[in-house]
């Protein structure tokens, strides 16, 4: 299928009522999302191209799996698939150092929750599974950290394990993993630069459920690597 790129226009600033999952501050999102839209649309980037909009999920349990190239990524994810597009807010899995101090206060109230990327706890994995069982949208950066060299860094195994566990422990869960590729004009985005966001074909968890847990997680991991490499 040929994907038609679109460019979001600067007149898309209408505030909408969107689905705010439990654990996310409603009043804060009503401030932060319009502010983020304004900054992204009219403040920093010259052009934002979004490819693969036909793959954007409007309902159901979803794991968004973006590459991580810049600190702009967590703002651009909801810009591309969040409240102004799908009417949905996403939960974010973030590293421990991102939930410290004042920044951490905002991150947690906007749906972020911490995980030790070097040694994930059972509690963090269980929380992720519970969010998916509730039909929420969950964003996990599978590379773990920001990598600016243009190549795909080795992916953490956690995303695939969470997805397989969530699907296995709730029959009928229509879970999708959606790879997203970020492409910036420069390794460190500059003012009035361009960014391309490519939303890739979803990986349907039903394709892995006939396999053993370990085999299914490994195959999902490999398929995710291929999708993110392009």
pLDDT tens string 13-62: 333 344 555 566 565 566 666 777 777 766 899 999 999 999 999 999 99
Percent of the chain surpassing pLDDT 70: 75
For the chain, which ranges sit under pLDDT 70? 1-33, 41-42, 95-112, 114, 116-117, 120
* Per-residue model confidence (pLDDT) at position 74: 86
Dist CA 184 CA 190 (whole Å): 9
Q: Output the average pLDDT for the chain.
A: 82
The domain segmentation of the chain, as residue ranges, is 19-229
First to last CA, the chain: 14
Specify the fold of 19-229.
Glycerol-3-phosphate (1)-acyltransferase (3.40.1130)
Which tokens belong to 180? 């997203």
pLDDT reported for residue 181: 98
């Amino acid at each position: 299928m040929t994907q038609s790129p679109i460019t979001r226009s600067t007149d898309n600033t209408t505030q909408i009522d969107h689905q705010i999952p439990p654990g996310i501050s409603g009043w804060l999102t009503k401030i932060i999302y319009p502010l983020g839209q304004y900054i992204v649309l009219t403040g920093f980037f010259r052009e934002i191209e979004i490819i693969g909009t036909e793959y954007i999920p409007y309902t159901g349990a979803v794991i968004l799996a973006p590459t991580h190239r810049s600190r702009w990524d967590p703002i651009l994810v909801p810009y591309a698939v969040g409240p102004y597009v799908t009417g949905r807010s996403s939960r974010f899995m973030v590293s421990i150092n991102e939930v410290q101090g004042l920044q951490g206060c905002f991150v947690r109230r906007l749906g972020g929750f911490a995980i030790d990327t070097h040694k994930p706890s059972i509690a963090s994995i269980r929380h992720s599974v519970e969010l998916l069982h509730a039909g929420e949208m969950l964003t996990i950066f599978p590379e773990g950290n920001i990598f600016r060299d243009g190549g795909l860094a080795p992916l953490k195994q956690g995303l695939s394990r969470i997805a397989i566990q969530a699907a296995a422990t709730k029959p009928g869960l229509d879970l999708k993993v959606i790879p997203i590729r970020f492409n910036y004009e420069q390794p460190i985005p500059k003012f009035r630069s361009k960014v391309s966001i490519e939303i890739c074909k979803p990986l349907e968890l039903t394709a892995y459920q006939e396999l053993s847990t370990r085999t299914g997680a490994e195959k999902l991991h490999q398929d995710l690597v291929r999708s993110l490499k392009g």
